[in-house]
Structure 1
């Protein structure tokens, strides 16, 4: 469970790290001029500047909210948020809220969060190089074992008698695809019963056994599964191939990122004394695989 949480965290940090890079942030809060300096002043509030960098930091914090705002309105939305923030922050200082203990604790938390994002962007994300992605691809290719996969069509009906009747119509010259469209109760009927390619283990056992036993172009006898009665036509049989790097490099980049995140943070934790003083939480974390 904690592994999946770490991956979710890493994925969210990817978004944050991208926003820290000005051109990417400009896209998230688009439209913005190309190559805008982070020091560009966008507004002043009580004599204090709001800069392009501030806008990008806001885009990072409000990434989810921005998804609800039309792209052309995001920069104005962010600037409005920042103006409200400046006004309220100044009012808080006048009230002495910046001297409170809870503010100091919150400030410490926010500093840790900002440093975590910076570390992720500058250390972990930086590991996702073309060379690292190529190495991940080569490692996967070296362990790749081709599998037989088949492409099949089917017709699903409720009774064996109905399946036999349809089989007779097909034997009499009716196209399998036409029969599937006319009679099948399965959602694939709109595509002539086409199920695409699949390997062993992807279909229920009786169906799979029958499909893999057919010759290309052959139609099966009625086959019963928990879903009903099937007629199956084998369209093709082939061996799977390793996809080209260009097709999977995005997935591999994420894989390298996640692995580097887990390895790096795991090593940091291993070299840090960590004690959970709340026994109930310590037990819960242990039961969920530890930290």
Structure 2
């Protein structure tokens, strides 16, 4: 049951050198053997739900365990970062909820010994030991001497240890996914709107084109009808002209015949006149 694995370490933090044999000191809770350098914390910390969750998880993991088993279980289930995170959270919680009993000072930071790494107590055990003392202090134990081994009374508590909320990453990813979902939704809505507008535009163009084509077809039909009427009129005129020509030809024939008759009549008259004149003479 890993609790968390992230913790913020300020740039100006100091460290515990572990130059003495810390194995017995950690397990027996002696005073001052872990002190070397110190971290700073907020004078008015706020207990978050994350801190309460950490306490509940430790309670579930280590309930009924003695000190050695308590420390072993914590070391088995958490890495160094997780233990630092849990220790900071319990320290902040203790300063809020047992402020009257909490000794002054700032938490020290645990690091391996630079002088004798092979025999020194591991950082995980020291951190787990600190958590053991803080956990029981929070639950009402009168172990001020143990708590004092975790603190430097001269250090000012001017900042709160940064507790990493394991939900943050999930929420951050969730928010990122939500933002991507919103963007995707907006893109899809935009695509849908553009498609709708394009379809409406196409429909409007098709309707306008159809109306224009119909109008042009009507104009063509009207002109075609006019052309047909003109053709009919032309044909009628041609027929009338043909008839008129035929009549003219007939009249011309009549005129020619009449002229011939007149000439013949004139010739006969002239002959008769000549005959009469000859008889008179």
TM-score by length of 1: 0.19
Higher RCO (CA < 8 A, seq sep 6+):
2
**Higher radius of gyration, 1 or 2:** 2
Q: Normalization by structure 2: what TM-score?
A: 0.20
Q: Which has the higher strand share?
A: 1
